[in-house]
Amino acid sequence: MSQLFTYLNDARGRHLEDLLAFLRIPSISAQEVHRPDIERAADFLCDELRSLGLEVEKITGEGNPLVYAQTALDPARPTILIYGHYDVQPVDPEHLWNSPPFEPVVRDGVIYARGASDDKGQLYAHLKAVEAFVRTGTPLPVNVKFLIEGEEEKGGHSVYDYTEKNPEKLACDAVLVSDTSLYDENTPAITFSLRGMCYTEILVDGPAQDLHSGSFGGTVRNPGNAIAAIVAGLHDARGRVTVPGFYDDVVELDAAGRADLNRLPYGEAELVRDTGAPSSSGEAGYSILERMWVRPTCDVNGLWSGYTGEGGKTIIPAKAGAKVSMRLVPNQDPEKIARAFTDHVNALAPAGVKVEVRVLHNANPVLVPRDSAMMQAGLKALETGFGKPATFIGEGGSIPITGTFQSCLKVPVVMLGYGLPNDNIHSPNEKFHLDNYYNGIRTTVAFFGEAAKLAK
Ligand code: BES
Ligand code: MN
Ligand code: MN
């Protein structure tokens, strides 16, 4: 181990330069103009994995390419499947960035760039861990497979289809994912739960075109008023979601689980500090961490109607719409929720407009049992890599494929987070701390070592 860590210390400058090159590729999956950049990002990974001596496949189909790679497979050794995503979120609002999102800069030991933390920097740490073994001539103590996708951020299908069709090829003893965060800068963490997702769009159609609001106001249903009524009807006064049956399958934490979770020091002050919101809010009867990690939600992600430009314009808008997503927890079923939501929105819709609900994508919630040997190996690896005691945390976000890994591959999904909760992922000035990058690489190296100790 010490020879590997010496190699990593000496290679820091180059490991940074290589990551910056990856971050310069604007691989935004949501925007079609970036399709060539998606291709470049996949090729960048293929080239590097090939140069490390892995057998590499760029898998092309209808969606964005998947990158699959594997080391030589020794049946006597455990196998680790590493998952990550090379696509990134759009950059808007771009004027709020202090430096251009695809011209990474390092200030005070922090890299600023879109994708730095989510997920290029975290994913790339795994490649550099493999590099350390290869370049020092140290035999890898485990077999390593990589499966890397390019449509995580837009809810694409390619990686599901591939996983469902290729469970034997992807067979492994654990899946390793770094696409989450430490608990805070002093506390490395394994994420053992993720929320799922049901993402929808509501479209409201009224008059054939915008109308003068003086001539026609008060005579036809206003789509703007209608979408507001629908959205207002999604919660009750206690902050609970009103979709019938919404909470039926929710697993409630028992008293011990609640106590465990609420031991972490996160309250009103911390939330206000991290979000800049004036105060907390949410479902009555649950702590902030419970609302973040183990309670389901329903939130507007976008809302539009009528004129929103400068000055006034007196119209009844022809159309209105909203993007509404629900974060789901074990054992809610996204498809069942989608049906209940659609029925509920139709019931809330006032007469005089046409309302359509479209379900854009779903993801299952995930709960990883904490007691497996691989999860314990993950804790030890974090402690070695970061030099500090590690803990288990929940996470409110979603990594859609992880549920499918659990059900198809039937192994623990070990989520070792190398980001920080305030890395501004999906926001302006996304960042990734160099210490976390370097400690992350060390952690992956250590995880291979810990995993190798476990009997096959
Ligand atoms: N890496 C995130 C998930 C995440 C979010 C982990 C926050 C830790 C903290 C992932 O890339 C992501 O953004 N997932 C999307 C999935 C959605 C598009 C289906 C999400 O959670 O919104
Ligand atoms: Mn991610
Ligand atoms: Mn993301």
Q: Position 347: which residue type?
A: A
Quote the CA–CA distance of 456 and 445 in Å, as a whole number.
19
Q: Residue 427: how many CA atoms within 13 Å on its side-chain side?
A: 9
Quote the CA–CA distance of 104 and 429 in Å, as a whole number.
10
Domain range list for the chain: 2-194+365-453, 196-250+296-363, 253-289
Closest of 441, 452, 450 to residue 11, by C-alpha: 441
Q: Residue 338: how many CA atoms within 13 Å on its side-chain side?
A: 18
Judging by DSSP bridges, how do beta strands 319-328 and 391-395 pair with one another? unpaired
Q: What is the fold of 2-194+365-453?
A: Aminopeptidase (3.40.630)
103-162 pLDDT tens trace:
999 999 999 999 999 999 999 999 999 999 999 999 999 999 999 999 999 989 999 999
**Cβ 180 under 6 angstroms from ligand 1:** yes
Q: Can you list the residues of the chain whose pLDDT is less than 70?
A: 455-456
CA 301 to chain centre: 16
Architecture of the domain whose range is 196-250+296-363: 2-Layer Sandwich (3.30)
Atom 13, ligand 1: residue with shortest CA distance: 153
Q: Position 21: which residue type?
A: A
Quote the CA–CA distance of 113 and 217 in Å, as a whole number.
48
Q: What is the pLDDT of residue 456?
A: 64
Using an 8 Å Cβ cutoff, are 344 and 212 in contact? no
Index of the ligand 1 atom closest to the CA of residue 195:
21
**Cβ 430 under 6 angstroms from ligand 1:** no
**Cβ 179 under 6 angstroms from ligand 1:** yes
223-260 pLDDT tens trace:
999 999 999 999 999 999 999 999 999 998 888 888 87
* Torsion angle of C-alpha atoms 179, 247, 231, 90, degrees rounded to 10: 10
Atom 5, ligand 1: residue with shortest CA distance: 397
Quote the CA–CA distance of 227 and 382 in Å, as a whole number.
47
Quote the CA–CA distance of 427 and 424 in Å, as a whole number.
5
Quote the CA–CA distance of 418 and 190 in Å, as a whole number.
10
| CA distance readout (Å), 80 to 8, 42, 126, 206, 278 | 21, 21, 11, 54, 44
Q: What is the pLDDT of residue 254?
A: 85
Ligand 1 pocket, mutate which of 153, 192, 329 (most atoms under 8 A from CB): 153
Atom 8, ligand 1: residue with shortest CA distance: 180
